Amino acid sequence: MDLHLFNESVFRRYKSNSQRIRRLSEDWFGEQMYCPVCKSDSLESFRDNKPVIDFYCPRCMEKFQLKSQSRPLGNRILDGAYSTMIESIIKETQPHFFLMHYNKNQWMVKDLEIIPNFFFTESVIEKRKPLASTARRAGWVGCNILLAGIPDDGRIRAISNKSIEDPEDVRSRWRKVSFLKEKKPNQRSWITDVMWCVKDFNKKEFTLDEVYEYEGHLSKLHPKNFNIKPKIRQQLQFLRDKNYLKFLGNGRYRLIKK
């Protein structure tokens, strides 16, 4: 895999850097990127001139959307209309995301991570303030995606600081969490939120009491639910059934590394 995005003819043809990066990243993906879901070693672009860049895998037909930025990937990224995002989560039409951070002096890919669409839940979609009455689209409400609220397993790194991960490792990380697809979108947020908590310990073994300490955090994400502790236990059972963690007895758990 070559991380250089630069292409002289694209530079001559387009004057603005936003048009350049759009075209360069579209070309780069078409030439270099593989499918993280199946064994296909290429992705195809829809090339439909929409503001976003969409790709699909010609083999498994999964859909992806690319977002690229010259800033490092921080805690949140800007997305489109809030209502459209929520609707696409509920209807399960949201594509998976590729997030690219590029160096705009060298025109090179620096970081690339993949977020499977089953990690997009209402818990990680932040509603922005409506645009002011003086704005052209007054009252329009956009959203941010809170990357920091997505559990580590839902942020699959394909390139980290110019270091390229083995595609087979990337696909195996995808398979490890694909059990989430079985759940309906409204049930999924509970599971991913509890996954976020157990990952937040940053250790292999933890106790139920430690997870209970996140009761306040979880009740903020699910303000209509007053039975947080039973909900936590329910998610831990599901995660055990899916071989994501192991019950050790006496309220102790261990994450299973795959």
User: Contact between 43 and Zn ion (CB under 5 A)?
Assistant: no
**Quick one: three-class SS letters along the chain?**
CCCECCCHHHHHHCCCHHHHHHHHHHHHHHHHCCCCCCCCCCCEECCCCCCCEEEECCCCCCEEEEEEECCCCCCEEEEEEHHHHHHHHHCCCCCEEEEEEEECCCCEEEEEEEECHHHCCHHHEEECCCCCCCCCCCCCCEEEEEHHHCCHHHCEEEEECCEECCHHHHHHHHHHHHHHHHCCHHHHHHHHHHHHHHHHCCCCEEEHHHHHCCHHHHHHHCCCCCCHHHHHHHHHHHHHHCCCEEEEECCEEEECCC
Instruction: Report if residue 1 touches Zn ion, rule: CB under 5 A.
Output: no
**Sole binder of Zn ion in the list 5, 10, 24, 35 (CB under 5 A):** 35
In angstroms, what is the minimal distance from the CB of 196 to Zn ion? 27
Instruction: Considering the complex, state which of residue 26 and residue 62 has its C-beta at the smaller distance from Zn ion.
Output: 62
Residue 59 makes contact with Zn ion by CB under 5 A:
yes
Using CB under 5 A, pick the residue from 38, 73, 77, 164 that binds Zn ion. Answer: 38
Distance CA(26)–CA(100), nearest Å, equals 11
Residue from 13, 41, 60, 175 binding Zn ion (CB under 5 A): 60
Counting contacts by CB under 5 A, is residue 236 touching Zn ion?
Answer: no
CB 63, min distance to Zn ion, A? 10
Least distance in Å: CB of 29 to Zn ion? 13
Stretch that binds Zn ion, among 52-60, 113-121, 154-162, 233-241 (CB under 5 A): 52-60
- CB nearer Zn ion, residue 64 or residue 253: 64
Q: Establish if 37 lies at the interface with Zn ion (CB under 5 A).
A: yes
Q: Residue 243, by phi and psi: left (phi above 0), alpha (psi -120 to 50) or beta? A: left
- Site stretch for Zn ion (CB under 5 A), options 19-27, 30-38, 151-159, 230-238: 30-38
Rounded-to-integer distance, Cα 55 and Cα 42, Å: 10
57 binds Zn ion per the rule CB under 5 A: yes
Residue among 85 and 177 whose Cβ is closer to Zn ion: 177
Tell me the C-alpha distance between 98 and 156, whole Å: 9
Residue number with CB closer to Zn ion (60 or 248): 60
Stretch in the footprint of Zn ion (CB under 5 A) among 50-58, 138-146, 197-205, 243-251:
50-58
- Which residue, 57 or 232, is less far from Zn ion as judged by CB? 57
| Minimum CB distance to Zn ion smaller for 42 or for 187 | 42
Residues lying near Zn ion in the complex (CB under 5 A) are found at: 35, 37-38, 40, 57, 59-60
